Chain A
Amino acid sequence: MTRTRRSELGAALALAGVLIGVAVVVVLIEGSAGPSSAEPRLPPSPRSALAPRNVPLGPAPLAFWAPVRERVSARVSPTRSQSAGQVPRRTPEGTTNLVLVLGGAKRVGDRLWVEVRFPGAPDDARGWVPRSAVGGYTPVRTRLVVDRERLTATLERGRRRVFRARVGIGTASTPTPAGHFYVRNQLSRYRSPFYGPLAFGTSARSPGLSDWPAGGFVGIHGTNRPDLIPGRVSHGCIRMANADIVRLARLMPIGTLLTVR
């Protein structure tokens, strides 16, 4: 009796196991097949053509430059009409004159004023001009340092030195002025081997040469006398080998700060 019951129970368990196995197989097959072809299917979600990510602003610029939109008399203060100097719209070379923006604008009445640096004599001058007299701001990230002792010019972008060359500077009687200036323009394709293939105009003026044509501004340029470089040979300009000035032009944007020490 016991043996019969045991065999019946075993058969029942075996049958149940087979049925469960069949059921699992059926479920798995149906699950993998998905809905039948007769049922409507939703299209896949469209993939965005963009994958926007935030872009950080990057390091703070050294300064801002702005083009001069109209000739203006700079004031010593927005509230005082005393003149700090004239700021022309054009450079002597015919390009747009630039100023360095020193700080935030100040509203006086219904007018916005901004403090700027502009070419003065002998060092750069500073004064306040109406915000409307200058154009859009461009950040400055580069600085050219001219070392009058070592006769070198070094271009820095942030903390990196990206260019270095030996230079010729002013003689003892016509020295290259020390101080803080900026690059105002770039000239090329002119017919003057003396200046090499490229020349940059700066806001610096050569002391003692105020009667020089076009105001005696200091340039950074090539040369037809590379044998004089490095040396104290110029009227105040910064000369370098033609290959160096071409290389510098690829790295140095307009508005670059110029420090002569």
Chain B
Amino acid sequence: MDPKLTLEEVDRDGAIAEALDKLTGGTRADFLRKAVVGGAATGAALASPALAQGRNTKKDIAILQFDLNLEYLQAAMYSEAERLRRLKPRTLEWARVVGANERGHVRAIRGLLGRDVVKSPKFNFRGVTEDDRVFTETATAFEDLTAALLKTQAAQVDSRNVLAALVSLHSVEARHAAWIRHIAGIVPAADAFDEPTSKARVVRLVDSTNFVTSRPRTKGRRRPKYTG
């Protein structure tokens, strides 16, 4: 059993590559990069309710916006898997329980950000939610990644209340990671200590999945040619 699994390793051994890269590539997902820039920009919005109450600093808002994008991604992926019902029963049960958690995280972070909330991107999971093996490997990578990122952010936030929030998220994400690792046949806790990960690495790895896509153009202004 492989005691560790990261998205990079998944890509290297071809697990995600097979399911994702062989499928038609789409727009490069740069939503997290946008979130970093957008976070810095919108952080200047001192009129936000949270800031007005002296709770969130610019840095904390940027961190929460970044996390919100990751939560959007996870919640959408697990929700789609639950709706499509193409996974094995125990993976589907994981998706059902963890999806409810992630949707709760989305709602809570959105509430915390108030006017600084960022909109959810559009996702295309390219069949990952319909293939048990690829779903399990991708979910393992995402949960490991999120837990590692929250560790990094915990050392960066200004507010003790936001720190407490990140810690409460972190422990749940770590449980998700352990559970999906168990399903995937990977040792849930192979090492005595976990390493944090950088935001740049998260951006790079999520980018490589091509899950974030452009919104289809479904509205137009041309004169209709319907039969009338």
Contacts and interface: CB of A to CB of B under 8 A. Distances in A.
A137 to B, nearest CB: 6
Please classify the interface of chain A as helix (H, G, I), strand (E, B), loop, or mixed, using the class held by over half of its residues.
loop
B201 interface: no
Contact of A46 (B22, B160, B220): B160
Interface of A: 45-57, 60-61, 64, 67, 69-70, 92-96, 98, 104-105, 107, 110-112, 114, 130-133, 135-137, 139, 170, 174, 184-192, 194-195, 199, 201, 206, 209, 212-214, 216-219, 221, 234-237, 254
Q: How large is the interface on B (under 10, 10 to 19, 20 to 34, 35 or more residues)?
A: 35 or more
Given A96-B218, A105-B127, 8 more contacts: A48-B165, A49-B159, A95-B217, A96-B216, A130-B24, A133-B24, A188-B219, A214-B225
A98 B161 CA distance: 45
Contacts of B219: 95, 185-188, 254
B220 A187 contact: yes
Interface in B75-107: 79-80, 82-86, 96, 99-101, 103-107
B161 A47 contact: yes
B168 to A, nearest CB: 5
16 contacts: A47-B161, A48-B165, A50-B168, A53-B107, A57-B79, A98-B216, A104-B86, A105-B86, A107-B131, A131-B130, A132-B22, A188-B219, A190-B222, A190-B224, A195-B223, A234-B227
Interface in B32-58: 55
B175 interface: no
A213 B26 CA distance: 32
B221 interface: yes
A65 to B, nearest CB: 9
Contacts of A174: 227
A1 B99 CA distance: 88
B126 A131 contact: yes
Nearest to B102: A55
A132 B126 contact: yes
B226 A195 contact: yes
Contact of A93 (B84, B101, B125, B222): B222
Contacts of B216: 67, 95-96, 98, 135
A95 B218 contact: yes
A132 B217 contact: no
B224 A199 contact: yes
B228 A194 contact: yes
B131 to A, nearest CB: 7
B221 to A, nearest CB: 5
B128 to A, nearest CB: 10
B151 interface: no
B102 to A, nearest CB: 9
Given A112-B131, A186-B219, A54 B161 contact: no
Nearest to A186: B219
Contacts of B213: 135-136
A56 B167 CA distance: 23
Contact of A135 (B26, B161, B222): B26
Contacts of A98: 216, 218
A219 B24 contact: no
A57 B126 contact: no
Contacts of B103: 54-55, 57
Interface centre among A45, A137, A195, A209 (most CB of B within 10 A): A137
Nearest to A56: B100
